[in-house]
Amino acid sequence: MTRIKQSINPANPPAAVAAFAAQFQHIIDENDKELARLTAEFGALKDALDARSVDLKRAAAEKQHLEAELQTKTRELQEQIEENMYLQTSWRTQEGRGKQHELDTARLKNKLEAANAELAMLRQQQQQPPPKYQPPSHMDELRALDTAATMTKQMTINMKSSLSDEKEAVPVPPPQEEQRKLINPALNVLDKRTGGFPLYGAAAGGHYDEAKRMLEQGADASLRTRFRWTALHWAAGNGHPEVVRLLLQYGADVNAVSDTGKKPLGMAASDEIREMLLAKGATQ
């Protein structure tokens, strides 16, 4: 300021004043250029920060989407693993029932062979000449043959009865709920590894006889797996109407909801199953 005042002092020569004014103008111009440069750099930095902020927000949104998709895929994979394990269990159960059927058939065959052997022995005895001191009468021969024929007929009936399908029998009314659960409480305990239970696998595989036996021994028709599935879900979904009807007779929950929001009615594989569920008050 002193220099400015001195420069504008009337005593100073005009040339000195002009030189100082030019120098002062040069300083102002340089400051303006520096200010413009700093302003441009600040604007560029601000634009870069804004772009970086947008990229970070986009990356966060993509990460959240990927995490949600990963959770969905993990759940679907777990459900598929659970379903595969129960299909394997069903297959093993069916294989075991086939072996048991072979054993039952062999046992009945042995009984039939024993009956035939006894019948042959009786016929042989009838063909031997009787002692002279006690001649058999014609009625004795007829009675012996009738007895042998009756035994053979009874063995045949027993064999057919053993091999007949138990589903054709008149269903026995279920016992009281609390009394049934006391018969075999282990049927209502979830497997620690798979999260399922025996009735679930039998119903999913359509094994009517096995499911009926479990229910009669105290299995809970409304029991749920770790992921909230019931035996009725997969009996309906796999198209096993006889098993569905059996579960409904034992009070299965027709509106049970799985962890994915599925109900038995929404999984029904046929109109017959759908009508049975609707008759019991099922909803979508």
Mean pLDDT by 10 residues, the chain (284 residues): 50 74 87 88 88 88 88 88 83 73 74 66 53 40 44 47 46 48 77 90 95 95 95 95 97 95 95 96 92
Element (H, E) at 198: helix 198-204
> What is the structure's pLDDT at 249?
97
Taking Cα atoms as reference points, which of 250, 189, 165, 193 lies closest to residue 216? 250
> Residue 13, class by beta-carbon neighbours within 10 Å (0-12 exposed, 13-18 middle, 19+ buried)?
exposed
Q: Is the pTM of this model over 0.75?
A: no
3-state secondary structure of 114: helix
pLDDT digit string (tens) for 22-74?
Answer: 888 889 988 888 888 898 888 888 888 888 888 888 888 888 888 888 888 88
- The DSSP 8-state label assigned to residue 94 in this structure reads H
Compute the distance between CA of residue 172 and CA of residue 99 in angstroms, rounded to an integer.
Answer: 27
DSSP-assigned letter for residue 230: B
H/E element, 183: none
- Name the 3-class secondary structure at 281: coil
Which pLDDT belongs to residue 85?
A: 84
Give the pLDDT score at 23. 87
What's 201-241 look like in SS3? HHHHCCCHHHHHHHHHCCCCCCCECCCCCEHHHHHHHCCCH
Helix (H/G/I), strand (E/B), else coil: 269: coil
3-state secondary structure 6-47: HHCCCCCCHHHHHHHHHHHHHHHHHHHHHHHHHHHHHHHHHH
Neighbour tally for 209: CB within 10 Å: 13
**Could you give the CA distance from residue 75 to residue 69 in angstroms, rounded to a whole number?**
10
